[in-house]
Amino acid sequence: TMGNWLVNHWFSAAVLAAWLGINIFLFTYYFLFFDQDERYFYTRAILGSALAWARASAKCLNFNSMLILLPVCRNLLSFLRGTCSCCRRTLRKQLDHNLTFHKLVAYTLALLTAVHTIAHLFNLERYNQSQQAADGSLPAVLSEMHLQGSKWLNPIHSNQTTVEYVAFTTIPGLTGVIITLALILMVTSSTEFIRRNYFELFWYTHHLFLVYFAGLVIHGIAGLVRGQTEQSMAEVHPYHCAEYLTRRDQNCSHSCCADPEFGSIPAESWKWVLAPIILYVFERILRVWRAQQKVVVTKAVMHPARVLELQMQKKGFCMEVGQYIFVNCPAISPLEWHPFTLTSAPEEDFFSIHIRAAGDWTERLIDTFQLETPRIEVDGPFGTASEDVFQYEVAMLVGAGIGVTPFASVLKSIWYKFQQADQALKTKKIYFYWLCRDTGAFAWFNDLLASLEQRMAESGKADFLTYRLFLTGWDTSIANNVALHFDTATDTVTGLRHKTIFGRPMWNMEFAAVATAHPRSVVGVFLCGPEGLAKSLQKCCHQHSSMDPRKVKFYFNKENF
């Protein structure tokens, strides 16, 4: 399975290896540079190895800050996806891992920030100790030099200065504190739980990235950490003159009498982040322009369990199965954009989304639509099409909870292709499994399944789709009701012909049944659901695939919506 992963994800693996390699190279190169370079001989005399730790982590921070915006430039990714449309789909699918990479870079930034901050706390403490030392040691002598001019080495010029004073009154100190706070807030508010339940909190807090980048660009301007100037190096090289600094007399006459002079390291964060910031500005301008294009809401349907279906039309809108859009409702919030998976098929003359009440914004949108039809803005569609489904003779589709949404588009599209005898469609049979906690959530999807069931029966293709609904969270009242109506033609929970099954699927039995029914087929298994379920299905695919190339084979695909 590791071999399979590398074949399917070679592009991701190559990007990860390159990213990791560059980080390791930058850290090692600059650590050794600041730990050994002669210009920082005197700086190291005061700070020790903490200098190298601070500078090496700073370089890696710049590199990762340069990358953090690129994965969230959605239009840039769509452009790349379009330009490599002739490439293999596996390559295009890798672009859907953009948010995983964004998170990886963010966690790396948090780690490097911790290293950088701790190193600088050591540096400040050592600057302070050297300033207060009166023992004639090299750090003490260096700390007393050029206190009046601009050639100083130790930024702490008085015995009264504390670490807190430097942190809150100097540009590097204050911007460092602000950047770190912004980063902590962004990372903590972007957990899965907060994104799912308090999207607004995540959305607004994430815009602290503006503060982060502004602080980053200003951070190094003051140049508190210094090295010896080129001119001073030529006159009094530390390798010859350092030993004389602590034992010079008043009437000194040799070539090492002059004090070494120091200058700041030029600020360079802006060089790293300028290009991505410009790209991101263009991205935002493009989003604003696209959002201005008129969207007509042709139909708004209120389903049970507070699920709102919106059917819309927009000039030039062209979708594929498995894609998503961002939606904004200026009447509720002009700034908030929320992502929704498209539930319509490309063959339909509208595009649709289903919005369930999950948070303040969705609640307010549903309430607004019950009173009037507000103006809606749409950006997208984004994401790679899930066209792999059409490439298998037999497809097993597994949707868990809200993960069922993309399959609405897939099922409808397969049915349209099947009806139109589309040559590109190889599918002859679909097995659909839906795992859900409560019956309320079945309602809107239920209607879709019922209409598909009816249409298939009318055209004599009732056996094209076999679906099984698994209710994983249920109580005794539902069970009693089912027991009473066990012999009815339709299901008591859903009203469909296929009965709802209580509890979780026995995957081994399901796979064995499919393998028996299609002994010579290649079966595509598609999941939109949690990671735990992915592992179970992957294991079953492996176990139930025949070693004989002429017999049944199961291929697992985890959809990334």
pLDDT tens by residue, 232-267 = 999 999 988 888 888 776 667 777 888 899 999 888
For position 492, what pLDDT does the model report?
43
Q: Go through the chain and tell me how many residues it has.
A: 561
How many angstroms separate the Cα of 60 from the Cα of each of 34, 105, 267, 275, 377? Answer: 14, 11, 15, 17, 39
Residue of higher predicted confidence among 44 and 495:
44
Lowest model confidence (mean pLDDT) among 18-32, 89-103, 332-346, 406-420: 89-103
Encoding tokens for residue 356? 């369930």
Q: Name all domains of the chain by residue range, CATH numbers in brackets.
A: 19-170+222-247+259-287 (no CATH), 293-383 (2.40.30.10), 386-558 (3.40.50.80)
- pLDDT of 479 above 70: no
Mean predicted confidence (pLDDT) in 88-115: 86
pLDDT of residue 250: 64
How far apart, in Å, are the Cα atoms of 459 and each of 23, 149, 453, 464?
Answer: 60, 91, 10, 11
Instruction: Residue 407: name the closest of 431, 424, 382, 437 by CA.
Output: 431
* Predicted local confidence at residue 4, as pLDDT: 56
By DSSP bridging, strand 338-341 and strand 324-328 are: antiparallel
Examine the pLDDT at 487 and tell me if it is beyond 50: no
Identify whether the C-beta of residue 390 lies closer than 8 Å to the C-beta of residue 415: no
Termini Cα distance of the chain: 23
User: pLDDT over 90 for what percent of the chain?
Assistant: 46
Query: Closest Cα to residue 307, out of 440, 474, 195, 193?
Result: 440
Distance CA 265, CA 222 (A): 9
pLDDT at 120: 94
What is the C-alpha to C-alpha distance for residues 366 and 444, in angstroms, rounded to an integer? 15
Distance separating alpha carbons of residues 63 and 550, to the nearest angstrom: 51
Could you read off the pLDDT of 366-377 as tens digits, one per residue?
Answer: 999 999 999 999
- Residue 216 predicted with pLDDT over 90: yes
pLDDT (0 to 100) of residue 280: 95
Q: Over 50: is that where the pLDDT of 338 sits?
A: yes
Mean residue pLDDT across the chain:
86
Enumerate the β-bridge partners of residue 96. Answer: none
pLDDT-based confidence at 52, cuts 50/70/90?
very high
* pLDDT score of 242: 87
Average pLDDT rounded to a whole number, residues 106-116: 97
> For 318-330, how does the pLDDT look when each residue is reduced to its tens digit (9 = 90+)?
998 888 999 999 9
Is the pLDDT higher at 145 or at 447? 145
C-beta separation of 323 from 405 below 8 A: no
Element holding 522 (H helix, E strand) = strand 522-528
Per the model's pLDDT, the better-predicted residue between 87 and 329 turns out to be 329
Neighbours of 263 (CB within 10 A): 18
CB 80 within 8 A of CB 62: no
Those residues whose C-beta lies under 8 Å from the C-beta of residue 314, and which sit 6 or more positions away, are 293, 294, 295, 296, 351, 378
pLDDT recorded at residue 261: 93
> For residue 488, is pLDDT > 50?
no
Q: Which residue has the higher pLDDT, 126 or 501?
A: 126
DSSP collapsed to 3 states, 296-310: EEEEEEEECCCEEEE
Mean pLDDT over 298-307 rounds to 88
What tokens appear for 130 in the block? Answer: 């050297």
Question: What is the rounded CA–CA span in Å between residue 51 and residue 273?
Answer: 23
Q: Work out the burial of residue 82: count CB atoms within 10 Å of its CB; fewer than 13 is exposed, 13-18 middle, 19 or more buried.
A: exposed
- Does the pLDDT value for residue 178 go beyond 90? yes
Q: Is the pLDDT of residue 189 over 50?
A: yes
